Amino acid sequence: MWKKFVFGLQMTSDYFADEIKIIMHDAGAVLIFIVAMVAYPLLYSLGYMDETIREIPIAVVDMDHSQISRQYSRMADATEQLKVVYKPQSLKEAEQLFYDGKINGVILIPKDFEKDIYKGQQTNVTVYCDASYFLLYKQVYSGAIYSTGTLGAGVEIKHLLAQGNTIKQAMDKRNPLNVNAYNLYNPAGGYGTFVIPGILIIILQQTLMIGIGLIGGTIRERRRYIYLIKPAQLPGGSFVAVMGKTFAYIFIYLFNIIFTLVMLHNWFHLPDKSGFLPTLFLIIPFLFATAFLGLAISFLFRRRVHSLLFMVFLSPSILFLTGMSWPVESLPPFLYLLAHVFPSTMTVPAYIRMRTCGAGLSSVTYEWVFLLIQMVVYCLLACLTYKFAMKRLEKEYNEEARMHRENYELGHLNE
């Protein structure tokens, strides 16, 4: 028993070494496993480094040309969201500027704006913003609402002061209920803080699965049968092969997670309320589950390029199914079940709760157990797939060897 165990460890280490050699001698695998794992997270983090969109160019169409309308235009320009770059004379000119891409919104101040305010009548400010781009829409709309609210508050307080109220009384009557709002876990409301932690996990998963599929496609495309058939007659051969290959991938990705989940977090000041070490209890089963799943489906690819096409096609869908762009509770039941095929579906929300919100391991017990179950199920699936593939390829290899031998003997007879 002990000899079999030692022999199994030796075979696992052999497969580990063989897989590392294959990866390092394959330019495509190096590109996916190493270069892409540096480039993609870095580019995403740099792209979202500013966190929020500021100084959005807009046009103010002032049809009143009064002191208060000019004051409102200056207040809109003073907000962090907006920058007044054009003041056209008509809405038609502003519309053309918008279609030319020079502005992202229009504020229309109507005629008699100041007169209606002095009369104590309600007046309107019209805001045109592009709702097809929600980030720009939100900022333009928020900046306009903030400017309108500030101007309206000033006008109302002046009316209250004219009625003999003190400043404190006027402020209390203007705002009898004061609301203190606190943005938890994302104080700046930044888009980068919201999206980057989840994207890093998805990049880890997708590059690992693409790379494994690439290696599997390479083995079939270049017909490296000897490499696969080597442990076919050994006890537990498929398990030894799967574990040896998996440990090779995990070894490489330990460096990748240090870069993405430690160095990038520090460089770009992403929230880190739990620290990196507690999240390892979540990341390690996630990596194993992803590697086993990648191995289980890698033999579906007959060509190297097939793995790239298939996995890259899946990437937007996987991002959607994690619940980052749309709540998983609102997904159709079929998609909700399909989402749980991928380890990222459980890992992303659990990782964000731990790293961004500071939750402890007890708060992600369900996700952690689910990842352990995925790890075991995908390991068994990978072993069965690998065993079937080894037998099939061994049969193909023996058939090719027999044909070559017959052709060789036939050639000698002809001579």
Residue 3 has pLDDT above 60, yes or no: yes
Q: Which residues contact 35 (CB under 8 A, 6 or more apart)?
A: none
- Report the length, in residues, of the chain: 415
Q: Per residue in 49-62, pLDDT tens?
A: 777 788 899 999 98
269, 196 Cβ separation under 8 angstroms: no
Residue 225 has pLDDT above 70, yes or no: no
**CA-based nearest residue to 375, from 414, 335, 346:** 346
pLDDT value, residue 180: 78
Residue 250 has pLDDT above 90, yes or no: yes
Vertex 35 angle, CA 222 and 258, to 5°: 120
Instruction: Report the pLDDT averaged over residues 28-33.
Output: 85
DSSP readout, 362-399? GGGHHHHHHHHHHHHHHHHHHHHHHHHHHHHHHHHHHH
Residue 378 has pLDDT above 90, yes or no: yes
pLDDT tier, 401 (very low <50, low <70, confident <90, very high otherwise): low
**CA-based nearest residue to 200, from 296, 267, 139, 247:** 267
Vertex 33 angle, CA 32 and 35, to 5°: 65
Of 155-169, 218-232, 241-255, 350-364, minimum mean pLDDT range: 218-232
208, 295 Cβ separation under 8 angstroms: no
- Greatest distance between any 2 Cα atoms in the chain: 123
Question: What is the C-alpha separation between 223 and 401, in angstroms, rounded?
Answer: 13
Task: Encode 126-170 in three state secondary structure.
Answer: EEEECCCCHHHHHHHHHHHHHHHHHHHHHHHHHHHHHCCCCHHHH
Which residue would you say has higher pLDDT here, 231 or 81?
81
Prediction pTM value: 0.81
pLDDT tier, 403 (very low <50, low <70, confident <90, very high otherwise): low
Instruction: Report the pLDDT averaged over residues 259-279.
Output: 87
Q: Which residue blocks in 259-364 are alpha helix, DSSP H?
A: 264-267, 276-298, 304-321, 333-339, 344-355
pLDDT value, residue 226: 47
Residue 263 has pLDDT above 60, yes or no: yes
User: Which residue bears the tokens 């996990």?
Assistant: 201
Instruction: Report the pLDDT averaged over residues 334-343.
Output: 85
Q: Which residues contact 12 (CB under 8 A, 6 or more apart)?
A: 240, 243, 244, 247
Question: What is the C-alpha separation between 303 and 385, in angstroms, rounded?
Answer: 17
Instruction: Tell me the backbone φ, ψ of residue 238, rounded to 5 degrees.
Output: -70, -40
pLDDT tier, 212 (very low <50, low <70, confident <90, very high otherwise): confident
According to DSSP, residue 110 is labeled: P
Residue 171 has pLDDT above 60, yes or no: yes
pLDDT tier, 286 (very low <50, low <70, confident <90, very high otherwise): very high
Q: Give the chain's mean pLDDT.
A: 81
Q: Which residues contact 80 (CB under 8 A, 6 or more apart)?
A: 54, 55, 143
Question: What is the C-alpha separation between 253 and 256, in angstroms, rounded?
Answer: 5
**CA-based nearest residue to 309, from 225, 395, 401, 210:** 210
Residue 181 vs residues 149, 178, 184, 187: alpha-carbon distances, Å: 17, 10, 9, 10
Q: Which of 44-48, 74-78, 213-217, 306-310 has the highest mean pLDDT?
A: 74-78
User: Which residue bears the tokens 């870069």?
Assistant: 259
Instruction: Report the pLDDT averaged over residues 9-32.
Output: 82
pLDDT value, residue 232: 46
